[in-house]
Amino acid sequence: MAPRMLVLWGVVLVAASAATDVAGWSPGTATFYGGSDGSGTMGGACGYGNLYSAGYGVNNAALSQTLFNDGASCGQCYAITCDGSGSRTGSQYCKPGNTVTVTATNLCPPNYGLPNGGWCGPGRPHFDMSQPAWENIGVVQGGIIPVLYQQVKCSRSGGVRFNIAGSNYFLLVSIQNLGGSGSVAAAWVKGDKTGWIQMSRNWGANWQALSGLTGQALSFAVTSTGGQYIQFLNVAPTWWQFGQTYSTNQQFYY
């Protein structure tokens, strides 16, 4: 959800005992939401909107505050397997041997009406997964299962996408469908009449520039959290419009 070869949309069968022996796996817990078709997971705190259009599909998860990292984890991929070792509560609801890869698309906030903020409380690594993704590794009647997880390389279809919102003097760009590390560390925008303008994270996967760039062709530059830097030149033409998504044929690999 070796794990770094897992395909984003697939479910891979591995021995649960082998998973626990692989370095890099950490213990956590997982629940599910969004209905049996996952439609209730669309949107979310990363700002991707329709997750199919953004390239992520139904294999997605809301991360607890600890994992979400104020939106810096948006787009990252996690391999998740149910911990059927028998030593943790809920392991009887595991589907042994299954691992699924999900993309971080939302925040599971603490519920301070429950002790310690509930399953998504501070300090707890928890995944509130789409129900279709969750059902690959757990029995629905269980509701919550113990898991082992690790961040893995993302495999995407097509190139990076830029959804443009804002106003005449404010640009808000949702950067979507990143492969490799899956998430953005830094971003820049350039009009055909400007130099490169540093952007800052506004919320989730949305990056902002306090600049009026309407009527100019737009280029973008992005550094992934894996450290790869790519310039995406002439992504949007001079007649670009707010609310539109512009696709590229370039992709991150780390």
What's the one-letter identity of residue 78?
Answer: Y
Say yes or no to pLDDT of 242 above 50: yes
* Whole-number average pLDDT of the chain: 91
pLDDT band for 62, please (50, 70, 90 cuts): very high
User: What SS3 class is residue 69?
Assistant: helix
What percent of the residues of the chain are helix, what percent strand, and what percent coil, each to the nearest 5? 15, 40, 50
Q: CA 149: distance to chain centroid?
A: 14
> Region 15-23: what's the mean pLDDT?
41
- CA-CA distances (angstroms) from residue 73 to 106, 118, 186? 10, 21, 13
Say yes or no to pLDDT of 20 above 50: no
Q: What percent of the chain has pLDDT over 90?
A: 89
Q: What percent of the chain has pLDDT over 70?
A: 91
Determine the pLDDT at residue 66.
96
Determine the pLDDT at residue 17.
34
Say yes or no to pLDDT of 144 above 60: yes
CA dist 221 and 228 (Å) reads 11
pTM of the predicted protein model: 0.89
> Region 98-121: what's the mean pLDDT?
96
Sorted by where each starts, the structural domains of the chain and their CATH numbers stand as: 26-152 (2.40.40.10), 160-248 (2.60.40.760)
- How confident is the model over 27-43, as pLDDT tens digits? 999 999 999 999 999 99
- How confident is the model over 171-228, as pLDDT tens digits? 999 999 999 999 999 999 999 999 999 999 999 999 999 998 999 999 999 999 999 9
Say yes or no to pLDDT of 131 above 50: yes
